Amino acid sequence: MVKQPVIGTNNDKVAILRIRTHLITEKDDLLSVIRRYTKDVAEPGDMVGISESVVAIMQGRAIPPETVKPSFLARFIARFAHPDASVSAPRSMQVAIDMVGVPRILMAAAAGLWGKLTGKKGLFFKVAGHEVAEIDDSGGTMPPYERSIILGPKNAHAEARKVWRNTGLWLLILDVNDKGAVDVLGSSLPLTPEKEKWIKELLKSNPFGNDDQKTPLVVIKSGRSIESRAG
């Protein structure tokens, strides 16, 4: 029988353990990192969360900013992006153009303008696609990545399932910020809407730390998993 984590019980006992790591680079791989840092604190059936930017860095998806030369179009469209969006930086907008092409970005920009006029948010990224939405400009990591443009992780669900098959740990690859936004980009755990809502509520305070805290990894224990460890 596969051990499922306890999600959303009426009397939740939840512990979120922040795990400090070394400076993770493209020389590391996800499975080895999870094994190394959870071996003494996690057991099969526990949930492990990891920052999506760290996964992307391990996949070699950190772009040095000096290698990106923004075009006039990138600089122009970036002026109209929300200031909190990564694509408000011309270099990130150029990366978006390179990823999905000029026609799609122009359609996304038109959709975004329509959204501003009608009060509908997020239309730019709905048209541009999730790859563009996952671009992270100046990712807030330790040097040498503090100014890098970090793309979203590739095959996030497959990467999470690989960890689960080899460790028995349910892995969540997460995009979490300090404004309470939580996106699950990859999961080995089958997520119902109720499970996803519980996870987002649990992590909206952002327990991760990707810069000098070096805590891009958390272990989540809830319900019986805590009680079994205490026993």
Q: Is the pLDDT of residue 11 over 80?
A: no
pLDDT 10s digits, 23-69: 899 999 999 999 999 999 998 889 999 999 999 999 999 999 899 99
| Overall domain count for the chain | 2
Phi-psi category of residue 118: left, alpha or beta, with phi > 0 → left and psi -120 to 50 → alpha? alpha
pLDDT 10s digits, 160-187: 999 999 999 999 999 988 788 899 999 9
Question: Is residue 75 assigned to a domain?
Answer: yes
39 contact partners, CB below 8 Å, separation of at least 6: none
Chosen domain end from 116, 149, 182:
149
Q: Is the pLDDT of residue 21 over 80?
A: yes
Using CA atoms, how far apart are residues 190 and 160, in angstroms rounded to an integer?
A: 11
User: What tokens does 54 get?
Assistant: 């760290």
CB distance 77 to 88 below 8 Å: no
Judge if pTM exceeds 0.75: yes
42 contact partners, CB below 8 Å, separation of at least 6: 48, 169, 219
Which residue range forms the structural domain that includes residue 102? 62-149
pLDDT 10s digits, 185-201: 999 998 889 989 999 99
Question: Is residue 23 assigned to a domain?
Answer: yes
Chosen domain end from 98, 131, 149:
149
